[in-house]
């Protein structure tokens, strides 16, 4: 039953973000957003299972801490989206979040919808240039550098209050355990 509720929730999220449109518009949107081969090759590098080790820096009266977690990126059934589930343990408490990423034919980058453990969600633009991955959001910017073998992704998370000045609040290393 939980799997049915979860699948229904994901379907609703996808409908919410793509819009409740008629068949003609939906077909047009799918055709326009199919990932070009060269872009799909870039995104393909992250698909797989990862072990994550993260350092969270002290800020706003909160102490520094460490997170150990796992991240799984996989393709949607049609191959036009990636679905990312992240799980972590921080201070002996577990949490999870998810992300859905699709190609934006208007910008040539990817749109990434992130759903956070506190129930909030945000949209990021994901730009991939060779081995540099940059997720840009309204208040958070994440820069990742993937090694040449596609097995290590080193990330730096920065936060801003004014959209101009960023401060480091988290960094980490993701180590790929298996491809899908």
pLDDT, one tens digit per residue, over 107-138 is 999 999 999 889 999 999 999 999 999 999 99
Burial 70-99 (b: 16+ CB within 10 A, else e): bbbbeeeeeeebbbbebbbeeeeeeeebbb
pTM over 0.75: yes
Average pLDDT per run of 10 along the chain, which is 180 residues long?
Answer: 41 38 40 81 96 94 94 95 95 92 96 93 95 96 97 97 94 92
Give the pLDDT confidence score for residue 92 in this predicted structure: 84
State the Rg of the chain over Cα. 17
CA distance 165 to 57: 17
pLDDT tens digit sequence for 144-159: 999 999 999 999 999 9
CA distance 35 to 122: 22
Place of tokens 């209050």: 161
Place of tokens 């000045």: 165
């Amino acid at each position: 039953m939980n799997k049915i509720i979860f699948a229904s929730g994901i379907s609703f999220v996808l409908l919410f973000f793509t819009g409740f449109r008629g068949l003609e518009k939906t077909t047009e949107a799918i055709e326009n957003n199919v990932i070009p081969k060269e872009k799909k090759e870039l995104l393909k590098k992250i698909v797989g299972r990862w072990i994550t080790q993260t350092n969270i820096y002290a800020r706003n009266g909160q102490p520094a801490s460490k997170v150990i977690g796992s991240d799984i990126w996989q393709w949607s059934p049609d191959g036009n989206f990636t679905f990312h589930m992240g799980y972590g343990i921080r201070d002996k408490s577990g949490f999870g979040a998810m992300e859905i990423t699709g190609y934006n034919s208007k910008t040539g980058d990817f749109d990434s919808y992130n759903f956070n453990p506190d129930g909030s969600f945000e949209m990021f633009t994901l730009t991939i240039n060779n081995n540099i991955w940059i997720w840009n959001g309204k208040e958070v910017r994440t820069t990742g550098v993937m090694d040449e073998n596609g097995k290590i992704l080193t990330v730096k998370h920065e936060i801003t209050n004014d959209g101009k000045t960023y401060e480091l609040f988290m960094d980490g290393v993701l180590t790929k355990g298996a491809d899908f």
